[in-house]
């Protein structure tokens, strides 16, 4: 009876740049991002989608946003109603003509409810990127680590984009007058630098050691001193070489400050003072992070990242 509604293809509207929103189905993440249709892997039948934030992998239809689902549902209900209305009209015609000459006249009418279409607008996002591996054009907000189409970690490209976000954040912090909120944003920005560098480091090491005898190596880059020592031991690389003492010291201090903020309510402890020899901080008092501290560190982070990447390229050539 309702052949027309057995299967319904509902195109999801895109924004003026041809981008459509996606939402990670992982309930612990629910991250929002956008992809540009017609870019990325265009192989017939390829339907994979990766969450750029948590790496959750599934097929495209699992990444519909709640708004898109509501929209599709509203279209489906409207189409179903139209199909029903058509069938009822047909039935009505049959009844009327069949009972035209009979004593009892029959007719039927279908009254449909008005089904409004749940139109929606998708939020504007901060970082626009093209995957160096598959060519997907996509947009993300906040820290991320994977291409939503091929799942590649374009590590250096992603690190740079994440540091750029921190620069944008710093620009906003400068105009922030509420001191408490300002402090909160500075701490967040510092945390973002450290975790962006940590995921860069981890992903880079995983990428280069894949299918080698060092494929099991796991290095945390949150502890920048230990990470350097381990890189030196495993790959014979000095990733801080050429950075200069002052810049190196600044990174050590900032990373240790981040550690205090995350694990010690931002209160200066003995371990911090021993590691950093920071004369501006007082035992038992709250640690102070300045915007300039973070700003100055960004280029050094990129320097170390490049050093790690090129060092591992050489290492890979050598072991072949």
- Stretch near Zn ion under the rule CB under 5 A, chosen from 86-94, 133-141, 237-245, 305-313: 133-141
The 86-125 contact track toward Zn ion, x by CB under 5 A, reads ----------------------------------------
Q: According to the binding rule CB under 5 A, does residue 250 interact with Zn ion?
A: no
Q: According to the binding rule CB under 5 A, does residue 51 interact with Zn ion?
A: yes
Q: Which is nearer to Zn ion, 134 or 166 (CB)?
A: 134
- Stretch near Zn ion under the rule CB under 5 A, chosen from 66-74, 117-125, 139-147, 257-265: 139-147
One of 131, 159, 189, 291 touching Zn ion (CB under 5 A): 131
**Least distance from Zn ion to the Cβ atom of residue 290, Å:** 33
Q: Which is nearer to Zn ion, 134 or 165 (CB)?
A: 134
One of 19, 147, 163, 189 touching Zn ion (CB under 5 A): 147
3-state helix/strand/coil string of the chain: CCHHHCCCCCCCCCCCCCEEEEECCCCCCCCEEEEECCCCCCCCCCCEEECCCCCCEEEHHHHCCHHHHHHHHHHHHHHHHHHHHHHHHHHHHHHHHHCCCCCCCCCCCCCCCCCCCCCCCCCCCCEEEECCCCCCEEEECCCCCCCCCCCCCCHHHHHHHHHHHHHHHHHHHHCCCCHHHHHHHHHHHHHHHHHHHHHHHHHHHHHHHCCCCCCCCCCCCCCHHHHHHHHHHHHCCCCCCCCCHHHHHHHHHHHHHHHHHHHCCCECCHHHHHHHCCCCCCCCCECCCCHHHHHHHHHHHHHHHHHHHHHHHHHHHHHC
Q: According to the binding rule CB under 5 A, does residue 240 interact with Zn ion?
A: no
User: Which residues of the chain form contacts with Zn ion (CB under 5 A)?
Assistant: 24, 26, 29, 31, 51, 53-54, 56, 131, 133-134, 136, 147, 149-150, 152
């Amino acid at each position: 009876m309702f052949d027309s509604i057995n299967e319904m293809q509902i195109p999801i509207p895109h924004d003026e740049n041809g981008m459509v929103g996606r939402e990670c189905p992982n309930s612990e993440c629910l991250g929002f991002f956008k992809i540009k249709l017609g870019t990325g892997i265009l192989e017939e039948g390829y339907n994979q989608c990766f969450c750029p934030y948590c790496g959750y992998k599934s097929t495209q239809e699992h990444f519909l946003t709640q708004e898109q689902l509501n929209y599709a549902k509203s279209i489906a209900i409207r189409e179903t109603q139209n199909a029903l209305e058509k069938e009822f009209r047909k039935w009505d015609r049959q009844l009327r003509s069949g009972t035209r000459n009979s004593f009892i006249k029959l007719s039927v009418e279908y009254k449909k409810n008005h089904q409004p279409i749940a139109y929606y607008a998708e939020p504007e996002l901060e970082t626009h990127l093209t995957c160096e591996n598959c060519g997907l054009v996509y947009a993300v907000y906040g820290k991320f680590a994977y291409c939503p189409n091929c799942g590649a970690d374009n590590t250096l490209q992603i690190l740079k984009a994440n540091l750029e976000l921190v620069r944008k954040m710093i620009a906003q912090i400068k105009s922030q007058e509420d001191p408490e909120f300002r402090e909160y944003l500075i701490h967040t920005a510092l945390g973002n630098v450290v975790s962006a560098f940590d995921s860069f480091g981890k992903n880079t090491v995983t990428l280069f050691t894949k299918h080698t005898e060092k494929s099991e190596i796991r290095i945390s880059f949150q502890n920048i001193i230990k990470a350097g020592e381990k890189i030196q031991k495993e790959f014979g690389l000095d990733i801080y070489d050429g950075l200069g003492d002052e810049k190196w010291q600044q990174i050590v201090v900032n990373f240790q400050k981040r550690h205090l903020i995350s694990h010690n309510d931002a209160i200066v402890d003995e371990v911090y003072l021993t590691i950093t020899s920071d004369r501006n901080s007082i035992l038992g008092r709250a640690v102070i992070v300045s915007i300039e501290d973070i700003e100055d560190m960004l280029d050094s982070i990129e320097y170390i990242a490049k050093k790690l990447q090129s060092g591992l390229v050489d290492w890979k050539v050598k072991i072949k």
